[in-house]
Amino acid sequence: MIVGAVGLIYGFIAAPETVEDVKEMMASEHHGEEHGEEINVEQLPGENVTVENIEGYESETAHGDEAHAEAGHGEEAGHGDEHYEHILHQLQNKPWAALYVAAFFFFMISLGVLAFYAIQYAAQAGWSPVLFRVMEAITAYLVPGGIIVFVLLVLSGLHLNHLFVWMDPEVVAHDEIIQNKTAYLNVPFFLIRAAIYLGGWMLFRQLLRKNSIKMDSATDNKIFKKNFKLSAGFLVFFIVTESMMSWDWIMSLDPHWFSTLFGWFVFASLFVSGITTIAIISIYLKSRGYLEFVNDSHIHDLAKFMFGISIFWTYLWFSQFMLIWYSNIPEEVVYFIQRIEDYQLPFFGMLITNFLFPVLLLMNSDYKRVNWFVIMTGIVILCGHYLNVYVMVMPATVGESWFIGIPEISAVLLFGGLFTFIVFNALTKAPLLVKGNPFIKESKHYHY
Amino acid sequence: MASKVLHAIYRDDDLLLQAVKQIREARYHIGEIYCPFPVHGLDKAMGLAPTRLAITSFLYGLVGLSVAVAMMNFIMIEDWPQDIGGKPSFSFIENMPAFVPIMFELTVFFAAHLMVITFYMRSKLWPFKKAENPDVRTTDDLFLMEVDAANHNIDDLTDFLYKTGASEIKLIE
């Protein structure tokens, strides 16, 4: 955590502050190369303008590729300084985006676990109650993590960074497409929405946890029934707010782009990372002798979920990619053109870590019971889903100036440390085996 | 080989499972067990080797994937690389997303069907096959165990089977 914090501060200091700094940096680095690529990317949508010539299209395509362009790129003459300014914004965004990606990644893990937990309640699963305390502990990160994400959003709203282009009034003034979306994309409403999602999730989390602790000393099933209803209510609330959250916090980074299955795509990502985290922490606690009743069959079930939801994620990833690739409509496809040209390795590498690895490693029923196998695959999946968030956020914020360097790694370390601290601290707050759950006996003897 | 077998009939699956354990402990050889429905844990109690059908299915899936790739690579890329609606038919990888649905379906198709056929062949099931049921009641509510009596004293074995809870015992020559 400390290493991460130090690294992040370095990242903020290292971010260039003026256009001159960028010029210096670029001169010392591979200037020609990046410059060349830049032009390439810009010209792609530019060609469409001449062909289609639609009113209002101009602004879109000028900004479409690099959501960050403050001024139009159309004229070649004024290109020089604008280009550097553009890069400057990207580099200034870099530590912010690194922070945002990591904060969101760990937050989404605990959110995914909460969704999984609620599903276990609502489905009256007989295998999982022995893992409830682990899940509850992971969701303990929801509150601080959510507050951190909210603070980051507020900071964006206060124009301390340029993560969200549509928050910049100058950009909006020149951009008819964003202007048409301001009824939804405006800072006060955005923050109110975020507060509603976060408040709702935290409220449900606290109630579920409180009831679960109360259930330990309960004599009847009243509290269980209450939790059952709460979970069902949460799931309804969750699926609506999660979907809107993904539009707000991630899709609006590219305000010119939209995709209808995006909410599900983000959901699959957070769900599988959440389940993977449950598995990893359970195996760790089990190996330390803290989880007496967790056996191979529980791990097997978690591994099955990791396997299945990984495939579900891939299905959604591919459905989103293929539909857009196939129809190749310019205003949609720039999203992927930018990712494929600038982010080739993470964009396709993600498929290997999030699909190929889990499919091949967790297909065998015996392997799902081998703890180190599940751990290794789990780490690969978590890395893959970090990359997934990275590829969703970075192209819109730092564009082609991306690199997984000190700010990115330190942000992960910082939030990883915070996450571990809070989760394991929460684990000490309650006995690791729930009592009074009507399914606990079945769960203890669960065998697959 | 004039082999003799005893057919012991049980009325309950719990009884059957217990009997299987006792008989295996006493080192008698169980030939077959006929049940009206799957008895959970019976294969483990009998010590049967686990099935390898899933492995065959995986391999069939790979075959299906190869067939799909080879077929579409030949048809769409090599044989007649036409421009159809601007799709890039220059190489397989460039046009791959369009092929994925077919690759997926053929993988599933091969994996599923060939595995089912493997299952039929391995368990010798086909239309017009003569049923091998020793007692019609085993398809309804009785469990029948076939115990090899080859080198054992028939009376001892019968006694033993009665003690394990068999409700009927028949000697079949």
pLDDT digit string, tens, across residues B104-119: 999 999 999 999 999 9
Which range, A1-5, A152-156, A289-293, A443-447, is most confident? A152-156
Q: Which residues of B touch A363 (CB under 8 A)?
A: 58
Average pLDDT over residues A159-188: 86
pLDDT exceeds cutoff 60 at A43? no
pLDDT of residue A356: 92
User: CB-based contact (8 Å) between B93 and chain A?
Assistant: no
Tell me the pLDDT of chain A averaged across its residues.
82
User: CB-based contact (8 Å) between B97 and chain A?
Assistant: yes
Ramachandran angles phi, psi of B98, nearest 5°: -70, -20
User: CB-based contact (8 Å) between B100 and chain A?
Assistant: yes
Nearest chain A residue to B55 by CA distance is A364
User: CB-based contact (8 Å) between A447 and chain B?
Assistant: no
How many C-beta neighbours within 10 Å does residue A439 have?
A: 20
Residue A336: in which H helix or E strand, if any? Answer: helix A330-342
Average pLDDT over residues A179-207: 93
DSSP 3-state of B9: strand
Q: Which residues of B touch A365 (CB under 8 A)?
A: 54
Average pLDDT over residues A333-339: 90
Shared domain check, B142 and B115 = no
User: CB-based contact (8 Å) between B50 and chain A?
Assistant: no
Shared domain check, B116 and B63 = yes
Spatial neighbors of A296 by CB under 8 A, at least 6 apart, are A369
Smallest CA-to-CA distance from A168 within A231, A252, A228, A112 is with A252
Average pLDDT over residues A174-179: 86
Q: Which residues of B touch A318 (CB under 8 A)?
A: 97, 100
Do A326 and B97 lie within an 8 Å CB cutoff? yes
pLDDT of residue A202: 95
Least CB-CB distance to A325: which of B54, B58, B97? B97
Ramachandran angles phi, psi of A231, nearest 5°: -60, -45
Q: What distance in Å separates residue B126's CA from the closest CA in chain A?
A: 30
Has residue B131 been placed in a domain?
no
For residue B30, what are the β-bridge partners? Answer: B147
Smallest CA-to-CA distance from A302 within A359, A381, A374 is with A374
Q: What distance in Å separates residue B54's CA from the closest CA in chain A?
A: 9
Shared domain check, B116 and B158 = no
Q: Model confidence at A88, in pLDDT bands (50, 70, 90)?
A: confident
Q: Which residues of A touch B54 (CB under 8 A)?
A: 365
Shared domain check, B119 and B142 = no
Q: What distance in Å separates residue A24's CA from the closest CA in chain B?
A: 39
User: CB-based contact (8 Å) between B65 and chain A?
Assistant: no
pLDDT exceeds cutoff 80 at A12? no
For residue B5, what are the β-bridge partners? Answer: B148, B172
* Contact by Cβ (8 Å): A5, A290: no
Total structural domains within chain B: 2
Do B100 and A321 lie within an 8 Å CB cutoff? no
Q: Which residue has the higher pLDDT, A331 or A387?
A: A387
Shared domain check, B116 and B74 = yes
User: CB-based contact (8 Å) between A367 and chain B?
Assistant: no
Spatial neighbors of A273 by CB under 8 A, at least 6 apart, are A105, A108, A109, A112, A381, A382, A385
Shared domain check, B113 and B61 = yes
Q: Model confidence at A135, in pLDDT bands (50, 70, 90)?
A: very high
Has residue B44 been placed in a domain?
no
Q: What distance in Å separates residue B71's CA from the closest CA in chain A?
A: 20
Q: Which residues of A touch B100 (CB under 8 A)?
A: 318, 322
Least CB-CB distance to A326: which of B54, B58, B98? B98
Average pLDDT over residues B169-173: 83
Least CB-CB distance to B100: which of A322, A328, A363? A322
Q: What distance in Å separates residue B12's CA from the closest CA in chain A?
A: 23
Q: Model confidence at A7, in pLDDT bands (50, 70, 90)?
A: low
Q: What distance in Å separates residue A322's CA from the closest CA in chain B?
A: 6
pLDDT exceeding 90 applies to what percent of chain B? Answer: 53
pLDDT in tens, B52-97: 999 999 999 999 999 999 999 999 999 999 999 989 999 999 999 9
Q: Model confidence at A385, in pLDDT bands (50, 70, 90)?
A: very high
Q: What distance in Å separates residue A412's CA from the closest CA in chain B?
A: 33
Nearest chain A residue to B95 by CA distance is A326
* Contact by Cβ (8 Å): A148, A103: yes
pLDDT exceeds cutoff 50 at B31? yes
Q: Which residue has the higher pLDDT, B52 or A80?
A: B52
User: CB-based contact (8 Å) between B58 and chain A?
Assistant: yes
pLDDT exceeding 70 applies to what percent of chain A? Answer: 81
Has residue A11 been placed in a domain?
no
Spatial neighbors of A49 by CB under 8 A, at least 6 apart, are A57, A58, A61
Which residue segment(s) compose the domain that B106 sits in? 52-123
Has residue B155 been placed in a domain?
yes
Rounded Cα–Cα distance for residues A127 and A441 (Å): 9
Do B97 and A328 lie within an 8 Å CB cutoff? no
Q: Model confidence at A82, in pLDDT bands (50, 70, 90)?
A: low
Q: Could you report the predicted ipTM of this complex, rounded to two decimals?
A: 0.87
CATH number of the domain within which B160 lies: 3.30.70
pLDDT exceeds cutoff 50 at A4? yes
Chain A and chain B share a number of CB contacts under 8 A equal to 12
pLDDT in tens, A60-70: 333 333 334 33
Average pLDDT over residues A170-176: 83
Total structural domains within chain A: 1
Report DSSP state, residue A249.
I
Do B98 and A322 lie within an 8 Å CB cutoff? yes
Shared domain check, B63 and B117 = yes
Average pLDDT over residues A296-320: 94
Has residue A417 been placed in a domain?
yes
pLDDT of residue A118: 95
Q: What strand order describes the sheet that includes B30-34?
A: B30-34, B143-148, B5-10, B168-172
Q: What distance in Å separates residue A266's CA from the closest CA in chain B?
A: 21
pLDDT in tens, A194-234: 999 999 999 999 999 999 999 888 888 889 999 999 999 99
Which range, A164-173, A195-204, A343-352, is most confident? A195-204
Torsion of CA B160, B162, B165, B166, to 10 degrees: 120
Ramachandran angles phi, psi of B168, nearest 5°: -140, 145
pLDDT of residue A32: 36
Selected for mutation to probe chain B from A307, A322, A327 (highest B CB count within 10 Å) is A322
Amino acid occupying residue A52: E
Q: Which residues of A touch B58 (CB under 8 A)?
A: 363
Tell me the C-alpha to C-alpha distance, in Å, between residue B86 and each of A53, A127, A325, A328, B103.
21, 52, 12, 10, 21
User: CB-based contact (8 Å) between A326 and chain B?
Assistant: yes
pLDDT exceeds cutoff 80 at A45? no
Shared domain check, B114 and B58 = yes
Q: Among A20-34, A61-75, B31-45, B125-139, where is mean pLDDT lowest?
A: A61-75
Which residue segment(s) compose the domain that A225 sits in? 93-428
Q: What distance in Å separates residue B84's CA from the closest CA in chain A?
A: 12
pLDDT exceeds cutoff 50 at A368? yes
User: CB-based contact (8 Å) between A328 and chain B?
Assistant: yes
Shared domain check, B113 and B65 = yes
Has residue A178 been placed in a domain?
yes
User: CB-based contact (8 Å) between A363 and chain B?
Assistant: yes
Nearest chain A residue to B97 by CA distance is A322
Spatial neighbors of B87 by CB under 8 A, at least 6 apart, are B95, B98
pLDDT of residue A62: 37
pLDDT in tens, B120-145: 999 999 999 998 888 899 999 899 99
pLDDT of residue A5: 63
